[in-house]
Amino acid sequence: MKQNTPYPFRRTKLGQEIAKILLAGAVTATSANVAAAPNFNFTAPLSFWQGEAGEKPTFVDIDADGDWDAFVGAANGNTNFFENTGTNTNPSFAAPQTNPFNLADVGENSSPTFVDIDGDGDFDAFIGEREGNTYYFENTGTPTSPNFATPQTNPFNLADVGWRSRPTFVDIDNDGDFDAFIGEHKGDEHIYFFENTGTNTNPSFAAPQTNPFNLAEVGENSSPTFVDIDDDGDLDAFIGENNGNTNFFENTGTNTTPNFAAPQTNPFNLADVGSKSSPTFVDIDDDGDLDAFIGASNGNPYFFENTGTNTTPNFAAPQANPFKLGNNSPTFVDIDDDGDFDGFIGAFNGDTQFIENTGTLTSPRFATPQTKPFNLADVGSSSSPTFVDIDGDGDFEAFIGEFSGNTYFFENTGTNTNPNFAAPQTNPFNLTDVGDDSSPTFVDIDGDGDFEAFIGSSIGDTHFFENTGTSTNPNFAAPQINPFNLRNVGSKSIPTFVDIDRDGDLDAFIGAYDGYTSFFENKDVDIEAQLNKTIYQVGDKLQFDVTVSSGKTVDLYVGVIFPDGDYQTIVYPPTFSENNVLQAYKTGIQPTGSQSYEILNFSLPAIPAGDYQVCGLLTKAQSSPYEAANWLKLDCKGFHFQ
């Protein structure tokens, strides 16, 4: 029934389901390719804080398979597990698992260590944390299948040490049980020693002693570990600290009565790792001597191979994270066109690893990683790969960012099922050096059928290179810094784009060095419904406007939802539709900037009391409004008539 005036709000029983959708504000779109001039709206960073990942590594054969697995504590409180899927002489670490075997987030500054504290044949976990406590996770599983119980705080008479506890356990007095040493942040005479006065199956720790056995202050963020580095039968001490050095205290006493000599800084060719050194020692290559891994605040465990002997150590020049323990840059693409996503992981040392998905799209299973696959090459440091069909030939090319700010292009001269990459070109198609730590990604941000480049940089900016060429012959314009209302995110920006709200345009997520991820919603299409009041009586003027902004052609629907859930739409010039029928107010509109439309402006007669809503809806041009996939943006405002 056609309505000729703007005020006979008739009520029927039809259209309940569509009304429910309107009331719920459900707005979806299926394609992210319908896009034009983006406009990003910044949202405060999401708390995906990873912080200084890789700050505190430790090694233990947690699954009793004869090789050393790695656990790496992170600043966000999690503990990352890297299973050694290689051998005891040729280690290779799988992708990390966070808090496996029922380990838990400890808050901040996770610092794990493992020891069989109760003498039952498996490894229990102790994890230090920011507030100075030590959490104990008893292994209630087995030596080959660990399972950790709910944590206990400072058990067996251990105590809060102030801030950033870093525990390690060792039988320092050779009495058959494990004693505890706990480093902490302040470092002024604070290496805490807790002697185990219990047994190897029932530990009990005495009151702490500070810097016993002639150990000395090393500054802030002390991080102790103990090994017999010179194979003389007693345990020597290595203590990391805030400035990145490792301090060595030789045990000149005995295995039952330790006494430590004056400290040496970075002996045996160990080196400063920057800040917050956290050393651990393990014979990672099974050659009979102890190699060193030293964690640092930049997230990389540095590896120092012992090229000396078990009695006269000598460490080779450090390698930054050679076994890929954290600080990696992953991306996924169906590189072999078999219908599932394969993984490529950029590493700090400049390599790119390929992990083939040998499973399926719904049940992925990743093979052992290959380094420099398909003729990809080392790019120096801080590899950051992405893949895109930049030349429209049906296969994926590789672009890899790196530490010095360049972007390397590897053309795929193979096929979509058998890739082969040509020798790299530096900053092709008029791309440019962005400073340091380039992190490229490619999307069709303006919906013109070719790929534009966004490249993150070390100072936190995102560089935009518009593709002024074509989908088969790209050519990039001079860069714009943080366009479309993107912002600087601090340092080491890592952008990616996805239609996260399914409104038909690409939104931006930008990671940063501090571990935060900033979300920028693309306001390419927007509508706002506006009312002059929220409560009305007979005779009050009701003014209903909508303001529309869109970078693309859209159709506009406006209407009123009644207290019982039925609705009527309004057609221009102001005429009401039949009940529960969607008719467009205007079709094919593309406003320049924002445009406002006055929908209703009249004095209210007597209408049924209750809660009403006025709504504005934008849909794809010339599409069915009854298909939710065609909706782009909806906004409703409520009012009460009394």
CATH number of the domain within which 84 lies:
2.115.10.20
More confident residue, 393 or 318: 393
- What residues make up the domain containing 172? 46-212
Q: State the sign of the Cα–Cα–Cα–Cα dihedral 172, 175, 177, 180.
A: negative
Q: Decide if pLDDT at 514 tops 70.
A: no
pTM, whole model, 2 decimals? 0.48
The predicted pLDDT at position 41 comes to 54
Q: Is residue 120 located within the same domain as residue 146? A: yes
Residues of the chain with pLDDT > 70, as a percent, come to 86
Q: Is residue 73 located within the same domain as residue 144? A: yes
Please answer whether residues 575 and 3 qualify as being in contact, where contact means their C-beta atoms are separated by less than 8 angstroms.
yes
The mean-pLDDT minimum among 85-94, 329-338, 448-457 falls in: 85-94
Please answer whether residues 270 and 241 qualify as being in contact, where contact means their C-beta atoms are separated by less than 8 angstroms.
no
Bridge partners (DSSP) listed for residue 440: 455
Cα→Cα distances 459→38, 381, 456, 488, Å: 23, 17, 9, 8
Q: Is residue 480 located within the same domain as residue 501? A: yes
Please answer whether residues 195 and 205 qualify as being in contact, where contact means their C-beta atoms are separated by less than 8 angstroms.
yes
Q: Is residue 417 located within the same domain as residue 560? A: no
Structural domain contains residue 161: yes
Structural domain contains residue 187: yes
The Cα 557–Cα 151 span in angstroms is 57
The predicted pLDDT at position 27 comes to 29
Q: Is residue 307 located within the same domain as residue 318? A: yes
Q: Is residue 367 located within the same domain as residue 454? A: yes
Cα→Cα distances 444→261, 384, 448, 488, Å: 64, 20, 7, 22
* DSSP H or E run through 152: strand 152-153
Please answer whether residues 108 and 77 qualify as being in contact, where contact means their C-beta atoms are separated by less than 8 angstroms.
yes
- β 302-304/319-320 pair status: antiparallel
Structural domain contains residue 37: no
Domain final residue pick, 271, 293, 322: 322
Q: Is residue 137 located within the same domain as residue 164? A: yes
3-state secondary structure of 303: strand
User: Could you give the angle at the alpha carbon of 173 between the alpha carbons of 169 and 177, nearest 5°?
Assistant: 55
The Cα 140–Cα 337 span in angstroms is 44
Residues 6+ positions from 177 with CB-CB distance below 8 Å? 171, 196, 198, 199, 200, 203
Count of domains in the chain? 4
Of the pLDDT bands very low, low, confident and very high (cuts 50, 70, 90), residue 303 is confident
Q: Is residue 491 located within the same domain as residue 601? A: no
Q: Is residue 185 located within the same domain as residue 120? A: yes
Q: E strands within 435-593? A: 439-443, 452-456, 462-465, 480-481, 494-498, 507-511, 517-522, 525-531, 535-536, 541-550, 554-561, 567-571, 575-576, 586-589
Average pLDDT along the chain: 83
The predicted pLDDT at position 26 comes to 29
Report the phi/psi class of residue 592: left, alpha or beta, with left for phi > 0 and alpha for psi in -120 to 50. beta
Q: Is residue 318 located within the same domain as residue 332? A: no
